[in-house]
A and B are shown apart, each in its own frame.
Chain A
Amino acid sequence: MAKQPGKAGAVLVLGGGITGIQAALDLAASDVKVYLVERSPSLGGRMAQLDKTFPTMDCAI
């Protein structure tokens, strides 16, 4: 894809939970530089606290 002059080369993603991580991974997969900013000391968010997810009962981490 052609370079578009005048546009920054990165996206800021606020929140390191499951949605923030997903957005960051999708952007990164398309060659976009991502700053993933999380307020707490680790990524993971709420989902990391869950034991399993329904209906497939996968582990949440």
Chain B
Amino acid sequence: MMDAGRHPNIEVLTNSELVRFEGKPGNFTATVRRHPRYVDENLCTGCGQCVHDCPVIVPNEFEVGMGARKAIYSPFPQAVPNTYIIDRENCLNDDFLVCNNCMNSCDRNAVNYDDLGAELRLAVGAVVVATGFDVYNASAIPSYGYGLYDNVLSNIELERVLNASGPTRGHIVRPSDKKVPKKIAFIQCVGSRGEGKEAGCQYCSRYCCMNAVKDCLLVKQHEPDIEELVFFYIDMRAAGRGFEEFYQRSLEMPELTYVRGRPSKILEDAVTKDLMVYVEDVETGQVSRIKVDMAVLSTGAVAGETNNRLAEVLGISLDENKFFEVDPKYGSPLHTSREGVYVCGCAAGINDISDSVSQASGAAAEAEKFVTKSPPAQEVEPAPEMDTSGPPRVGVFLCHCGINIAGVLDVESLKEYAQGIPDVAFVEENLFLCSDEGQRLMQEKIAEHRLNRVVAAACTPRTHEPVFRESCQQIGLNPYLFEMVNVRDQCSWVHTGVPEIATAKARDMIRSGVAKARHLQPLYRKSIPVNQSALVVGGGVGGMAAALELEAQGMKVYLIEQQGRLGGRLINLTRVYPANLSAFELARVMVEKIKASRVEVMTGTEINAISGFVGNFDVATTNGNFKVGTIVLATGADIYKPGDEFSYDRFENVITNQELEDILHDTKGKIDIHGQTPENVVFIQCVGSRSSDTNPGCSRYCCPTTIKQAIRLRESGVNVAVLHRDMRTVGAKAEEHYRHARELGVKFIRFTPERLPRVIGNGKAAERIEVKELALDRILDIPADYVVLAAGMVPNKATTDKLQDILKVPRAADGFFMERHAKLGPVETTTEGVFLAGCVSGPKDIADSLAQGAAAAAKAAAIISHDTVALEPTTCVVRPELCRACGECVGMCDYHAPGLVDKGDGVQVAEINQALCKGCGTCASWCPTGAIVALHFTDEQINSMLDTLLLDRV
């Protein structure tokens, strides 16, 4: 979030909306209306004095009404931009009174009641719609009493309650009496998977199951005395990377009870405000009343209320649920009905965070095709670097930050104190050091007093160090000779009531900052050349999508496929849900496009070795060697091959869903298997998934696939039963298809892993299946001409082993490649320049694989669209004279930056590849001889801080 606020290529327009849109892809004109904020973003420093002085208190929407804010406010503490805003509906100045408190309190004159906003006309080549979703308003279901009963909360309200900076500071108390609840009910599918009229949407909102499981764990963490959590649900939809394992962990929590059933109503005891939940447990058939202290409703996600208007302005269509409609002909979830306008995340339907992030990167890749890229404006040529080799002359700059620092700390005494610290040549104070005047003053004084080290005692380096460093650089002082002391966030703001102790602490902090500064050394950013081409490994959907996107951006692409043809698994499928596209057609179109493009396709080719690092990989294949700057891994996954499960190895009429797909592939109209039309077909779900023996995770694709196949069979008159553990129909339109299957008469019967269905046959073939019907506690006997096993996805062991060995990309416990971040970096790896697309990082459906292909292309393009890549200089380096080549550093670094190199005469020494090093400094602490130096955090620097903090105590 911070990064977006600071990036020179991104102009953030908050409090703004699109009002007009016209033109053609590549040349649109967008008119954006910026609503008035009444506070100037360029002047406001976020000091908070105006908020303090504002007399109006209103409920805070960020805390979903549970907290309070003023009429002038910042939406939440980490808001970007960190500029206050006046809510004119509640501001006194709008009424007959004239308050003017905020205007009078602002030192910077940032408050302007006459702000009228502005209308901006922007020339853009493409649009990405990422407007997200709205939360279902649970008060539409009167039987749950949301909004009527004090102790019925929504899941979003609970999130805020759980947050340490939320309205209750992270304490869970029930609203009616502020007591810690002993027993809490979690109710799923509120507004989702609706049956009745008032019940909200029909689809599955997807995020709520795992969100609620997470909340259960957090509630227990926050309030260890909680006695019982009762979790009411229909199906547990833990369908994502690591989700099933997370759910399994929750099953070990003794306080958490799962009850399968949707409560019919909640009633409140008017006196005690306790709640009674009425529910029929569908597993036992028992109807019960459960008394709880508090209930949390998992409210579903609905289309944004502004979607209608936005669709009209953009000239794109909405689907029946008012989400932006995805053009089905691409198979990918990114295209809207208008070329040049792309959609991602929950604006087009419900997606979880990691899929949304993949789609966002994918949409970026699509949009890039319609714009002219311009290199970022070159910064002004910096002044020649000044000589800093002499003895340290430290300048200390003390920031008041309005009253944020100076209101608590005695800045005058600090100034006097700092003047007495050894090597301090100059001390100055300023009202707002980060302001333009403050920065200019700092620059002048550096030059005037020939300062060669600078310490700023101000706010946090995490936000402001880049600002100060840039000012130093501008006047020729190496930016790494600057040190920041955080006397605001970590001193004046948190020790407000004890100004003298806080000032003493600030003295220590400044002294240790100066101590470090005296030992700072100039460091220099290096840049290495980039080979502007990409390697895509794997010719399935993910790989083909990545290759096509990169090629469309004008990049040189090598596409390697182990098999003799492109198309991967897609070519063997019949129809792709939800749009019922022909899979073969989709694959054929992509293969044709690749063949017609400049992508260099190498089928029947294997990789022998890859060496190098981001921007410079050397690739050796069975078909020749070449260099690339970036690599996309899209080698897919394998379908689990059952062994003796459900007598698969014994009976030839027990087949996998893949085998059924092959049969359906060749079948038009009536189902015909080996010359016969089957009467009864039974599906068994989760074969090779959700099991510690095979893949502990959910394979995600199989439930929707089964539904698709079941509908196809049922429409031909076959009796179909599906035996499952939870129906996880989480993809686009999958829940609707599930409903349709039930309406057609497909039977769904649940089983538990403790009591698996039994396939009974006559020695040669399966004849029937016995399964325990949980609700009625009896054994069902179902005839079966065919038994179809929904086989899960497993990692392709040979390929992943080999690629892991070659590229050192880590794999997770489930054997799939590990993403850089499960949520925020789904297509990145920890190896810079190496990306993932599709099932190589866990099971995905076709739409998700296509989105990931585009996403990986966007990431790869960001590297190879530049001819150099800049390296941060705060890395680790080896002092060869101290290294005894023990190899400790080589084994411990997860980025494989250190390596042993031969220095001739058989002498080895460790060397750290600066392109791979991330600068964490862990190897420096690991090195037994102290040969490794963590630049900018050296032993010398840290030791000098310790020395002064502990020896020079006053």
Contact = CB atoms under 8 A, between A and B. Distances in A.
Contact of B124 (A4, A5, A10, A50): A10
B431 to A, nearest CB: 26
A13 B554 CA distance: 23
B242 interface: yes
Given A17-B132, A23-B360, A44-B80, A53 B353 contact: yes
Interface in A10-58: 10-58
A17 B163 CA distance: 19
A31 B374 contact: yes
B27 A7 contact: yes
A50 B858 CA distance: 27
Given A8-B372, A18-B356, A35 B130 contact: no
A23 B128 contact: yes
Contacts of A13: 127-128, 130
A2 B126 contact: no
Contact of B160 (A26, A30, A49, A52): A49
A35 B218 CA distance: 37
A54 B210 contact: yes
A25 to B, nearest CB: 6
B544 interface: no
A27 to B, nearest CB: 5
Contact of A19 (B10, B37, B132, B367): B132
A11 B127 CA distance: 6
Contact of B26 (A7, A17, A25, A52): A7
B303 interface: no
A51 B162 contact: yes
Interface in B332-361: 344-347, 353, 356-357, 359-361
B32 A1 contact: no
Interface string B136-171: 000000000000000000001001101100100000
A6 B26 contact: yes
Contact of B360 (A14, A22, A46, A51): A22
Interface in B830-879: 855, 858-859, 861-862, 865-866
A35 B17 CA distance: 11
Nearest to B133: A46
Interface residues of B, number: 98
Contacts of A25: 3-4, 7, 10
Nearest to B27: A8
Contacts of B26: 6-8
B371 to A, nearest CB: 5
Contacts, number: 276
B78 A23 contact: no
A28 B130 contact: no
A23 B368 contact: no
A12 B306 contact: no
Given A10-B125, A28-B10, A42 B356 contact: no
Nearest to A29: B862
Contact of B128 (A14, A43, A54): A14
B913 to A, nearest CB: 22
Nearest to B359: A19
Contacts of A33: 9, 11, 371, 374
Contact of A11 (B126, B135, B359, B865): B126
B1 interface: yes
Given A23-B344, A46-B132, A8 B15 contact: no
Given A11-B367, A20-B128, A51 B30 contact: no
Contacts of B4: 16, 21, 24-25, 36, 43
Please classify the interface of chain B as helix (H, G, I), strand (E, B), loop, or mixed, using the class held by over half of its residues: mixed
Given A30-B858, A39-B15, A54-B210, A8 B125 contact: yes
B211 to A, nearest CB: 7
Contacts of B895: none
A38 B83 CA distance: 14
Contacts of A38: 12-16
Given A20-B130, A54-B214, A41 B27 contact: no
Contact of A8 (B16, B28, B356, B861): B28
A30 B131 contact: no
Nearest to B157: A49
Nearest to A27: B364
Given A8-B125, A44-B76, A2 B15 contact: no
Contacts of B18: 12, 14, 37
B245 interface: yes
Contact of A51 (B218, B373, B823): B218
Interface in B113-128: 122-128
A32 to B, nearest CB: 5
A61 B102 CA distance: 29
In this complex, which of B12, B166, B218 has the most chain A Cβ atoms within 10 angstroms of its Cβ?
Answer: B12
A12 B122 contact: yes
A52 B37 CA distance: 30
Contacts of A8: 26-28, 123-125, 370-372
A15 B81 CA distance: 14
A34 B11 contact: yes
A7 B370 contact: yes
Contacts of B855: 26
A26 B360 contact: yes
A15 B129 contact: yes
Contacts of A23: 128, 130, 344, 360-361, 363-364, 367
B861 A30 contact: yes
B696 interface: no
B763 to A, nearest CB: 45
Contacts of A58: 821, 823
B57 interface: no
B822 A55 contact: yes
Contacts of B123: 8-10
Interface in B783-822: 821-822
A35 B124 contact: yes
B13 A9 contact: no
A61 B584 CA distance: 42
Nearest to A57: B214
B76 A37 contact: no
Interface string B209-241: 011011000100000000000000000000000
A56 B823 contact: yes
B310 interface: yes
A36 to B, nearest CB: 5
A34 B3 CA distance: 13
Contact of B125 (A9, A16, A20): A9
Contact of A17 (B345, B367, B375): B345
Contact of A48 (B78, B370, B553, B858): B78
Given A7-B26, A34-B11, A39-B17, A1 B373 contact: yes
Interface string B889-907: 0000000000000000000
Closest 6 CB pairs of A and B: A19-B345, A42-B79, A20-B130, A22-B360, A29-B862, A28-B9
Interface of A: 1-58, 61
Interface of B: 1, 3-5, 7-18, 26-28, 30, 32, 37, 62, 64, 74-76, 78-81, 85, 122-133, 135, 156, 159-160, 162-163, 166, 210-211, 213-214, 218, 242-243, 245-246, 306, 310, 344-347, 353, 356-357, 359-361, 363-365, 367-368, 370-376, 553-555, 821-824, 855, 858-859, 861-862, 865-866
Given A4-B372, A12-B128, A30-B865, 20 more contacts: A7-B370, A9-B371, A10-B371, A11-B371, A13-B128, A14-B127, A15-B130, A15-B131, A19-B347, A23-B360, A26-B855, A34-B9, A34-B11, A38-B14, A41-B14, A43-B1, A43-B79, A44-B1, A46-B133, A52-B214
30 contacts: A6-B26, A7-B26, A10-B123, A12-B18, A14-B127, A15-B345, A16-B12, A16-B14, A18-B360, A19-B130, A19-B344, A20-B360, A22-B824, A23-B363, A24-B7, A26-B364, A26-B858, A31-B865, A35-B13, A35-B32, A37-B32, A39-B17, A41-B79, A42-B80, A50-B211, A51-B159, A51-B166, A55-B242, A56-B823, A58-B821
